[in-house]
């Protein structure tokens, strides 16, 4: 890759936020990528939509609630957040239930957006 040319990276989050390391590790990789001036976007599909829910209480799980970190993404110039409409609907989650602003896309729109990326990494 030549200097000054950034690639478009899309990180696809498909896992629930707690119960595995995928969501937290994915978020850390996103932050690292943004630090290297890459064009970073995030997509939330399937149970990944739960990562963005407001009011998460993780005390019973004995894990730290890292969801507030999503509100800090703008400070890293990560402003492209996408959520699949069908995933929200299947889980009874409304856009108003999410803690950050997202663009809601249908499944076909999401697939087209993924096709435009240079790199797609799933968590």
Q: Is the pLDDT of residue 60 over 80?
A: no
Q: Is the pLDDT of residue 5 over 70?
A: no
List for the chain the helix, strand, coil content (%; round to 5). Answer: 40, 20, 40
Span 49-76, average pLDDT: 83
Instruction: Please tell me the total number of residues recorded for the chain in this structure.
Output: 123
- Position with higher pLDDT, 108 vs 70: 108
User: What is the pLDDT, as a whole number, of residue 3?
Assistant: 58
- Position with higher pLDDT, 45 vs 28: 45
Q: What percent of the chain has pLDDT over 70?
A: 96
Domains of the chain: 8-122 (3.40.1260.10)
* Digit-coded pLDDT (tens) for 77-115: 889 999 999 999 999 999 999 999 999 999 999 999 999
Rounded Cα–Cα distance for residues 52 and 101 (Å): 10
User: What is the pLDDT, as a whole number, of residue 4?
Assistant: 58
């Amino acid at each position: 890759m030549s200097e000054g040319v950034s690639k478009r990276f899309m990180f696809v989050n498909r896992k629930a936020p707690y119960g595995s390391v995928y969501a937290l590790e994915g978020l850390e990789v996103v932050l690292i990528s943004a630090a290297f001036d890459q064009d970073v976007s995030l997509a939330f599909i399937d149970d990944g939509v739960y990562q963005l829910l407001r009011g998460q209480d993780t005390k019973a799980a004995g894990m730290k609630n890292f969801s507030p970190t999503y509100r800090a993404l703008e400070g890293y110039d990560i402003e492209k957040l996408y959520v699949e409409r069908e995933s929200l609907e299947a889980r009874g989650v409304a856009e108003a239930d999410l803690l950050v602003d997202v663009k809601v896309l249908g499944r076909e729109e999401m697939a087209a957006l993924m096709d435009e990326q240079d790199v797609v990494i799933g968590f």
